[in-house]
Structure 1
């Protein structure tokens, strides 16, 4: 009996499988656009994106209204917050002037000029309020060459080594450094460089006495003397 039923159902199952295969085949043709009815994926995706964006925006607005409640418009805008930040900075420095500056007199020391043995002069820049400035790292070294204790061939060799950094009009050597991360390291690098130049100038292996000095790079500027007759005469 079961074999008879199976024989009867077999054609029907085959027909159903054939119809399913044809429908899948037809849908595949529609998907790839081979039939007359084509599917526009770009328009479909744009429509879905627009619908989803509207749904998400509505959900976000509802969540914001739920979280903010009654204080939605009580907060300041960006410029208001910046103004408050500036006011806090001013108040901080006012408190320092009132409570900390009067105590600084206890640590005050009288000014003493540097001794004559301190011939190196370092110049640096400090930007108040911002610690990430490139010019704050730069250090300039100035020194009178006549105070270095070099004479004769040593001085000649030293001037050849420093080149255009020497000003023959003022007898001043000027060097700058900004390759290190901090001004203190650049200051140390300048001091080490100057020491290396002096050591090299004192070596007796080759003094380069046959190489003449050339100061053509320096442009001399004539300074007009101030006329003394223009000075006000004393009543005495």
Structure 2
């Protein structure tokens, strides 16, 4: 049996068979030998190519060795640096722990059971670890006073240091001329946001409007309607429809231009329309009477009247016809004393404040 196997091995080795590739393989790039029965042969490389490849491999090996050496040194330096940083961090943590020891809450004792023996005693666990209360803190009212004082000091600093800087922005006052008949009034709340800030009020007098005749001025007053004050001859109107003061002012200016344009329109002058003043309440203006003014003649008349009254009183006093009020009061008090003495004791005792009457029940 062994001889048969040995002969089969020699037969297989002597057989020159073509290598059979697997069923599914990747095709090589390039042209292959499709109808050849001999194995594929490659061209042998020259000595120069082999030496060039060997030199490249040697250079690559040197670069790899240099890279490995540098990376190893870098890793060693990083490890040493990390170790030193960890050591410094541990030392700083120890120093901080030595300077600032952690706060440890005091251990509270167990609350004792309420019995007859400890009734009314303060509980030790309630006031343990607490600071003594000196009752020296301020009340809420005092804190409010301090807050008001701080606010006053703040505005005092503004008045002392920042208000003088506003003098640089001051402009000289120039009274309005005849070319500026419109007067606008604005409202500000000193930095606060308020819905009434956008309101603009316009006032003007029809007599000050230029290039208008008397008939046109009367027409302007009639067109203004309830916005015309007949006593002061002033037309007043306001606007707060828009978000800003400039928009409201622009609207009022356009409205005045439209009124002037309608007043100058010669098609209808409104001369047949009377003035309507029902919207205005005319208040009576009282003046001091001329008869009440103190003059020299009036002063002399008053002096003479007072002297005549004084002489009349003297005459009545001499004739005992003048009524003396003090004497009349004394006489009235003297008449009441005999009446009080004539009252019985029973009635006087019942009127004493300390005594009370007897209660009597009545059956019905």
Alpha-carbon distance in 1 for matches of 2:179, 2:293: 39
Q: SS at 2:236's partner residue?
A: strand
Alignment of 1:151 onto 2:213? yes
Greater Cα radius of gyration, structure 1 or 2: 2
1:140 paired residue number: 201
Give matches, 1:112-151, under 5 Å.
112-131=174-193, 133-149=194-210, 150-151=212-213
Specify the SS of the correspondent of 1:100: helix
Cα drift, residue 87 of structure 1: 7.5
Q: Which deviates more, 204-213 or 117-126? A: 204-213
Give deviations 1:124-167, integer Å, cap 9, x for gaps: 22112422x22222121111111114324322322222111111
| Contact in 1 for aligned 2:205/2:235 (Cα 8 Å) | yes
SS of residue in 2 equivalent to 1:99: helix
| Pairing partner for 1:221 from 273, 283, 292 | 283
Q: Which has the higher relative contact order, 1 or 2, with Cα contacts under 8 A spaced 6 or more apart? A: 1
What does 1:16-35 align with in structure 2 at a 5 Å threshold?
none
Mark the CA change 1:212 to 1:110 in structure 2 (over 3 Å): closer, same or farther.
closer
SS of equivalent residue, structure 2 residue 192 = coil
Q: Could you list the per-position Cα deviations for residues 5-45 of structure 1 after superposition, in whole angstroms to 9, with x for gaps in the alignment?
A: xxxxxxxxxxxxxxxxxxxxxxxxxxxxxxxxxxxxxxxxx
Give the deviation of 1:94 after TM superposition: 4.1
Relative to structure 1, the CA distance from residue 206 to residue 108 in structure 2 (aligned partners, 3 Å threshold; closer, same or farther) is closer
Question: 1:167-208: per-residue Cα shift (whole Å, max 9, x none)?
Answer: 111111111111111222212211211111001111123333
Gaps of 5+ in 2: 1-104, 106-140, 297-364
Which of 192, 195, 201 is 2:257 aligned to?
195
| Residue 210 of structure 1, CA deviation | 2.9
User: For the Cα contact (< 8 Å) 2:206–2:220, is it kept in 1?
Assistant: no
Cα distance, 1:107–1:125 mapped onto 2, change above 3 Å: closer
Per-residue deviation, residues 82-123 of structure 1 (Å, max 9, x unmatched): 999878765654443333223333443433322233221122
Between the aligned partners of 1:139 and 1:152, the Cα distance in structure 2 is 29
Cα root mean square deviation, aligned: 3.7
Residues 167-206 of structure 1: pairs in structure 2 closer than 5 A? 167-206=229-268
Q: In the alignment, which of 150, 153, 170 is matched to residue 108 of structure 1?
A: 170
The alpha-carbon distance between structure 1 residues 183 and 160, as it changes in their structure 2 partners (threshold 3 A), is same
Aligned length: 159
SS at match of 1:208: coil
Q: Is the 8 A contact 2:198 2:243 kept in 1?
A: yes
Q: CA deviation at 1:227?
A: 5.4
